[in-house]
Amino acid sequence: MQGCANDTGKLIGKVAVLRMAFGCADTRPLLTDYKRLGALTTKGFDYAINSITSDTDDSKNLTENLVTGMDISISGDGEYRKKDKASEIGAKKMAKYIFDEIVAGRQPALWVRFDFVGEDSGTYIEGYFVTTAWNGDFPTEVSTFSGEWKVADADTVVFEVNDDTPVASVTVAPATASVAVNGTQQLTPNILPVDASDKTGAWSSSDTSKVTVSQAGLARGIAAGSATITFTSNDGLKTGKSVITVTA
């Protein structure tokens, strides 16, 4: 559907992203701390819901069940690279981390983030998980790996769903303008997609001694020279710029 923001079609599995960050359970990592595990072929999650059967005699011969909890796991299968990308933890580094932690008598735990509909889309499971399975296979064809992670600290686990339309880009019109001292120029942010859920943002000037700008986007010439006026969206921190020249 040409990348339409209101696309309700089926989701292609390769859009999902599995990322991880090293650290301790008491400090939630920043998004910039996360790295992809590697060249994944499949990734998924499993609630593994636990239940018990009721023994009461009021069920009309139908067994009644009660859910007592769930054993959440996140898993990923992939292929080894000769050299991992800088944006990846990499299967070799992960294998060594697990080995070193267990040999040292520690838990091979780390932060895990599973983004359902693309990186930083706002729909994800995140938490502090412990590695419960890891293996590698080296046939004569492509070498593969597989891992599984389960909850290590239940207080850290969150599941967020965000169906809002994010801001993709921002431009400012006009892109350039010339004003006299004390003259003004109204600037307008053009935000894409047009149906972005949050179109708010903030204006700033690179040199307020030359040009100031109000939060309504009105630029005013202060002294001869030039300054770059920037609009930064609150959603995604996307920026658009306009260069204002002030004539004496």
CATH of the domain at 177: 2.60.40.1080
Tell me: do 20 and 94 sit in the same domain.
yes
The parent domain of residue 189 ranges over: 169-247
Q: How far is 116 from 114, CA to CA, in rounded Å?
A: 6
**Closest among 222, 226, 228 to 187, alpha carbons compared:** 228
- Of 188 and 15, more confident: 188
The answer to whether residue 195 scores a pLDDT higher than 80 is: no
Tens digit of pLDDT for each residue in 114-149? 998 888 778 899 999 999 999 999 999 999 999 999
pTM above 0.85, yes or no: no
86 & 51 share domain:
yes
Domain count, the chain: 2
Given 142, 160, 178, the domain boundary residue is 160
Q: Which tens digit of pLDDT belongs to each residue from 46-88?
A: 999 999 998 877 667 788 889 999 999 999 999 999 999 999 9
Residue 111 lies in a domain: yes
Q: Is residue 26 part of a domain?
A: yes
When pLDDT is cut at 50, 70 and 90, the band that residue 1 belongs to is very low
